[in-house]
Amino acid sequence: MSTTWEQFEAAAVTLARSGNIKDRLADAYRNHLALVNVDELPDALRAPLRACYAALTREPPLRGEDAVRATVRKLSNVEADEIAASVVRLFGAAVQAAARVVEPERDEQLLNGSAAARGKLLKTVPQMIALYAAEA
């Protein structure tokens, strides 16, 4: 079972791939965002996620499609870009919230100094990949 931030990460990666933004947005919602339990989020992130859900399911579906497909079909590319950007911002905020929760544990583990504790810590904190190579 994936954690909340892992679902956000997967949604952000889906949005970063090549292809039509509307298709990527629909895939990110169906395969990742829809699986996020809003109640597991900090209070500050609940309203933005609910707004994202509402923005992606606001249109009534035609026969043979769901609300997400109907909504994405009617979005302009600019609207789709804005929603995608909000998903990426939610991912960043979810990672920061997860790091704040882990931080007190980290301080205790680092004080204890065991290698096993440090290894466990590295697995609990989301790891971000640098998007730009360090300049020499």
pLDDT tens readout for residues 113-127: 555 555 554 544 454
* Mean pLDDT score across all residues of the chain: 81
* Amino acid occupying residue 15: L
pLDDT on residue 136: 44
pLDDT digits (tens, 9 = 90+) for 98-117: 777 655 555 555 555 555 55
pLDDT at residue number 31: 95
pLDDT of 108 reads: 57
Q: What is the mean pLDDT of residues 8-26?
A: 94
Residue 40 clears pLDDT 80, i.e. is over it: yes
Residue 44: how many CB atoms within 10 A of its CB?
9
| Long-range CB pairs of 8-16, under 8 A, 24+ apart, other chains included | 8/32, 8/33, 8/36, 8/87, 8/90, 8/91, 8/94, 8/95, 9/91, 9/95, 9/126, 11/87, 11/91, 12/87, 12/88, 12/91, 15/84, 15/87, 15/88
Look at residue 56 in the predicted model and tell me its pLDDT. 95
For Cα atoms 9, 11, 12, give the angle at the middle one, nearest 5 degrees: 65
Residue 52 in tokens:
């994202």
Tens of pLDDT, residue by residue over 49-99, are: 999 999 999 999 999 999 999 999 999 999 999 999 999 998 888 888 777
For 56, residues 6+ apart whose C-beta sits below 8 A from its C-beta are 25, 26, 29, 33, 67, 68, 71, 72, 83
The residues, any chain, with a CB within 8 Å of residue 68's CB and separated by 6 or more, are 26, 29, 30, 56, 57
Size of the chain, expressed as the number of residues it contains:
136
Residue 1 has pLDDT above 70, yes or no: no
pLDDT at 4 (0 to 100): 83
pTM over 0.85: no
